Structure 1
Amino acid sequence: MQNGNEFTATKAERLYSRVMKRNPEAEKKLPEEVRRNVPSNGLKQIFATALQSAGDQTVNASTVLPWLFSVLGVPPALTGLLVPIRESGSMLPQAALTPRVVRVRYRKWIFVVGSLIQAAAAAIMAGTAALASGLTAGIIIVLAMAVFAYGRCLTSIASKDVQGRTIPKGERGQINGLATTAAGLVAITIGVAIRLIGGDNLTAGQIAWLLALGAVLWVFVAWIYAGIREPAGESEAEQSKSAEPESDKPKGNWFTDTVALLREDARFRQFVSVRSLLLVSSLSPPFIVTLSIQHGAGSLAGLGGYIIASGLASLLGGRMFGRFADRSSNRLMSVGAGVASAVVIAVVLATIIPGFSGAGPAGELFFIAAYFAITLMHTGVRVGRKTYVVDMAEGDLRTKYVAVSNSAMGVILLIVGGISSLLALIHVIWALLFLAAMGLVGVVAGARLPDVSSGK
């Protein structure tokens, strides 16, 4: 008769094998302890990442919080700070934090702490939405977003390292994809609930409950992630590798190490360059929303409509792109950027046609469809680049790759975001064309990245 642990392990094994296309050869190369826990660890990472992504929808800096600011009467200047703080704040500190993170034997605890910080920040936002208004509410929420971004910074550093330690090549992209699919289901549910409960006239109290839901989700994320069985330090296979590049050896403080890594590691520098060209799928959606408002789009293209579109993109894209990423993550990034750029150009061309209007069902469906297509491609780009950076290195070098690339992207994001915002002052169309041009260059550059995937 099986004991409880054996029964759970068997059940996890069956479920994991049912939802995943496993890579037996890669699993055989893992230490026995790691190989034995692949199914349970994989399922926990899927559930935790899915809940985290669902939580992101409740505290979305591009949709939910701008909507809340409008309801609370927060000055528009503060609204413009939300996305830069959310994105750059979660990326810029990573290189500075990495020397401390690599000293922690079990990286899952870094993720747990980061999740609890995000839960606390979301709870502060919820309380502020319920009790404050105007400039005061805006300042508190912006500061809470900075704290939230720091928590996300910690989870970003830790998650890829934990996945690299516990999941073999050929299965990592599928885990990212399945988590994205599950998050899409939750996002669709949230979007439908918003439209049924509040329509296009949500109150601050209703949004406060949405933010509180996000806080609860992150507590569950921390609880699930704490149960992952992570090997202490590096596996024996990783420790035996002595031929590390010079860029992986400590040279001084974190800043000089960061500069040295970018200067001396040509393959890593190429990845960061390509990633910077793929911002079309992440930065263009808010401009699509703005363009829809300028052309009279109304009820369908409301908060609930865009959340549903984003959730549907995750639902379809997660499963679709997970296995694609395991076969060729660099090709997935290129395809995603190319299609996103094509959609942006199509939207621009449509809106400059004389007589075009976003009002009415046809115009609203057009903008929702464009938003859906771009967020679908962003799902592919995100799954692809997450899988690529995990597959391209091992051990602490992987941690440094993740941290330094994200810190570099924090700076690049501020620069590209600033340029696109300045172009938007002339007209939103120019900002969209600028991002589309970057994406097209990224297609060519991404195709030239060396393939680091399993190819199966």
Structure 2
Amino acid sequence: MRKTAVFKSVLSDDDSLDRACKSIPEEACRHSARNYKANLMNGAASKLAEQTAGPNLVIPWLLQAIGAPLWILGFAMPLKQTFSLLPQMITAGYIRTLSIRKTVWTVSGFIQALCLLLMIPSAMYFTPAKAGVSVLFLLIVFSTASGAASVAFQDVLGKTVDKGQRGRLLSARAFAGGILTIAAGLVISRLKGGSLTTLYMLLVFGAVLWIISSLFFQSIKEYPGSVKGGRNAVKETAAGFALFRKYKGFRQYMYARIMLNIIEIAVPFYAFYASELLGTSKAGLGLFMTAIGVSQVISSPFWGRAADETSRTVMIQSAVISVAAAAVAVVCYFLTSQLAVYAGLLASFVLIGLAEAGVRLGRKTYLVDATPAENKATFTAFSNSMVGVITLFAGLLGFLAEKTGAAGIIAVIGAISILAVFAAALMPEADDMLKE
């Protein structure tokens, strides 16, 4: 009975112990339950969109299917991560001038939908190299919009959902998205017809999901906030560096975040590795997508509550799981039975999905809980932008794959994950990050 109550509270925010809001205004507290549900539905749709038409699995699969050069595949996820993070110093300064900030997320969602739709004619009518470059360009626009949405999301989350419930909400979003991703993966694994046709269908489906998620986010009841302190990109960057120098805890968070970022861009490289060992097929795409969905469902019930207690520990545990994922994947290289290889790869996808979900939820909850409302956008944008600059170098992994194969990349991911374990362990707890 207790487990049922906990499960229900994760999805609905129905927890009598959390009725009194501690960190949001009383007027926002009155709409807390409604905002929780709208945010949850937005997350379910956007999480499914990320898996069914995202840069972590489906877009690299599309690039492989059209015969794009390997270096283009290697840059897909790093470019996505870089351009979703780097421009945030510009967007954060602008967002600070808006009293209502949910519209930024809404417009960004529509832009992402349009980019996915434009990838279809690019893949259909251009040569493989030109199509690959076109898809990368659209991915850059897609990611820039995603970055603006990320800053707005953190700010709206801090204004509309009380501290102590945010990790639970983020986990509920991942849980709902995971359930839908499992269903979508199973359907895709049984689809008949050409793989390109299947991929085009997924892009259309993803675009529709981004539109739906935008409408849900727009329905959140957000009260006007302060518009003081709006800065241009140069002043915003200077303010970010000032915070970086001032707080040792923030610097330690940044060092850990840089190491942990390899986990967030790892899935496409696992997909490359799987295609090397098994060959590209739409059945494989569907089953690996299902594995990612399973990992989200498995992790969501405990990642959220764990992050509300100590998001630092969530980040440490996620890095350990990433090390295990790399170890399992490397073992697959030496197996002779294709069935054993398939089972091992599915296990590694579940593990890396668990690690990715934990890193994302842990770092977001950590920074939202650690930072004051007046500087939340600056902390978020600065940390994301700095990580974005460094992530661009991860595109070189595509050239590494041409020399060593995808197995070499998996080994590198595992090694960096080991460093991430130690970096996260050196961080203070979120409540202590801003102690000078």
Instruction: Give the alignment's TM-score, normalised by structure 2.
Output: 0.88
Q: What SS does the corresponding residue of 2:21 show, helix, strand or coil?
A: helix
Q: Per-residue CA shift, 1:350-390, capped at 9, x if unaligned?
A: 2565xx22x52222111111111111121111111111111
- 1-structure distance, mates of 2:187, 2:255: 40
Corresponding residue number in structure 1 for 2:421: 443
Corresponding residue number in structure 2 for 1:309: 291
Matches for 1:238-253 after TM superposition, within 5 Å: 253=235
- 1-structure distance, mates of 2:272, 2:90: 35
348, 351, 362: which one aligns with 1:384: 362
- Cα 1:301–1:451 shift into 2, 3 Å: farther
Q: What SS does the corresponding residue of 1:30 show, helix, strand or coil?
A: coil
How far does residue 420 in structure 1 lie from its aligned partner after superposition?
Answer: 8.2
Q: What SS does the corresponding residue of 1:110 show, helix, strand or coil?
A: helix
Task: Check conservation: 1:184, 1:314, Cα contact below 8 A.
Answer: yes
- 2-structure distance, mates of 1:369, 1:302: 13
- 2-structure distance, mates of 1:30, 1:284: 36
- Cα 1:57–1:184 shift into 2, 3 Å: same
Task: Check conservation: 2:56, 2:268, Cα contact below 8 A.
Answer: yes
Task: Check conservation: 1:164, 1:394, Cα contact below 8 A.
Answer: no
- Cα 1:437–1:373 shift into 2, 3 Å: same
Corresponding residue number in structure 2 for 1:319: 301
How far does residue 288 in structure 1 lie from its aligned partner after superposition?
Answer: 3.2
How far does residue 124 in structure 1 lie from its aligned partner after superposition?
Answer: 1.2
Corresponding residue number in structure 1 for 2:205: 213
Bigger relative CO (Cα 8 Å, ≥ 6 apart): 2
Matches for 1:4-43 after TM superposition, within 5 Å: 18-21=12-15, 23-24=17-18, 27-28=21-22, 30-43=24-37
- Cα 1:276–1:391 shift into 2, 3 Å: same
- Cα 1:250–1:144 shift into 2, 3 Å: closer
Task: Check conservation: 2:333, 2:407, Cα contact below 8 A.
Answer: no
Q: Note if 1:289 corresponds to 2:271.
A: yes
AA matched with 1:319: P
How far does residue 265 in structure 1 lie from its aligned partner after superposition?
Answer: 2.8
Task: Check conservation: 2:263, 2:355, Cα contact below 8 A.
Answer: yes
Q: What SS does the corresponding residue of 1:80 show, helix, strand or coil?
A: helix
Q: What SS does the corresponding residue of 1:188 show, helix, strand or coil?
A: helix
Task: Check conservation: 2:102, 2:152, Cα contact below 8 A.
Answer: yes
- 2-structure distance, mates of 1:453, 1:23: 21
RMSD of the alignment, in Å? 3.0
- 2-structure distance, mates of 1:330, 1:390: 13
Q: Note if 1:418 corresponds to 2:396.
A: yes
AA matched with 2:318: G
Q: Per-residue CA shift, 1:389-408, capped at 9, x if unaligned?
A: 11111223111111111101
AA matched with 1:151: A
Q: What SS does the corresponding residue of 1:325 show, helix, strand or coil?
A: helix
- 2-structure distance, mates of 1:134, 1:290: 18
Give the % identical residues: 27
Corresponding residue number in structure 2 for 1:432: 410
152, 160, 166: which one aligns with 2:154: 160
Corresponding residue number in structure 1 for 2:351: 373
Task: Check conservation: 1:16, 1:43, Cα contact below 8 A.
Answer: no
AA matched with 1:208: Y
- Of 335-344 and 26-35, more deviation after overlay is shown by 26-35
- Cα 1:119–1:347 shift into 2, 3 Å: closer
- Cα 1:292–1:270 shift into 2, 3 Å: same
- 2-structure distance, mates of 1:41, 1:25: 14
Corresponding residue number in structure 2 for 1:397: 375
Task: Check conservation: 2:84, 2:144, Cα contact below 8 A.
Answer: yes
- 2-structure distance, mates of 1:384, 1:390: 10
Task: Check conservation: 2:90, 2:233, Cα contact below 8 A.
Answer: no
Corresponding residue number in structure 2 for 1:4: none
AA matched with 1:330: R
AA matched with 2:329: V
Matches for 1:41-440 after TM superposition, within 5 Å: 41-129=35-123, 134-198=128-192, 202-234=194-226, 253-296=235-278, 302-348=284-330, 350-351=331-332, 353=334, 356-357=335-336, 359-418=337-396, 422=400, 425-440=403-418
- 1-structure distance, mates of 2:127, 2:232: 49
Corresponding residue number in structure 1 for 2:5: none
- Cα 1:29–1:186 shift into 2, 3 Å: closer
- 2-structure distance, mates of 1:41, 1:294: 45
How far does residue 416 in structure 1 lie from its aligned partner after superposition?
Answer: 4.4
- 2-structure distance, mates of 1:330, 1:301: 37
- Cα 1:187–1:130 shift into 2, 3 Å: farther
- 2-structure distance, mates of 1:155, 1:111: 4
Task: Check conservation: 2:325, 2:349, Cα contact below 8 A.
Answer: no
Corresponding residue number in structure 1 for 2:4: none
- Of 438-447 and 283-292, more deviation after overlay is shown by 283-292
Q: Per-residue CA shift, 1:188-222, capped at 9, x if unaligned?
A: 12211211113xx6432332121111111111111
Task: Check conservation: 1:58, 1:64, Cα contact below 8 A.
Answer: yes
Q: Per-residue CA shift, 1:81-105, capped at 9, x if unaligned?
A: 3212211111110012211111011
Task: Check conservation: 2:75, 2:396, Cα contact below 8 A.
Answer: no
- Cα 1:396–1:130 shift into 2, 3 Å: farther
Q: Per-residue CA shift, 1:149-195, capped at 9, x if unaligned?
A: 11101111100110011111110001100100111112112211211
Flag the structure with larger Rg: 1
- 1-structure distance, mates of 2:364, 2:375: 15
Unmatched runs of 5 consecutive residues or more in structure 1: 1-13
How far does residue 347 in structure 1 lie from its aligned partner after superposition?
Answer: 3.4
Task: Check conservation: 2:9, 2:15, Cα contact below 8 A.
Answer: no
Task: Check conservation: 2:332, 2:341, Cα contact below 8 A.
Answer: no
Instruction: Give the alignment's TM-score, normalised by structure 1.
Output: 0.84
- 2-structure distance, mates of 1:284, 1:147: 21
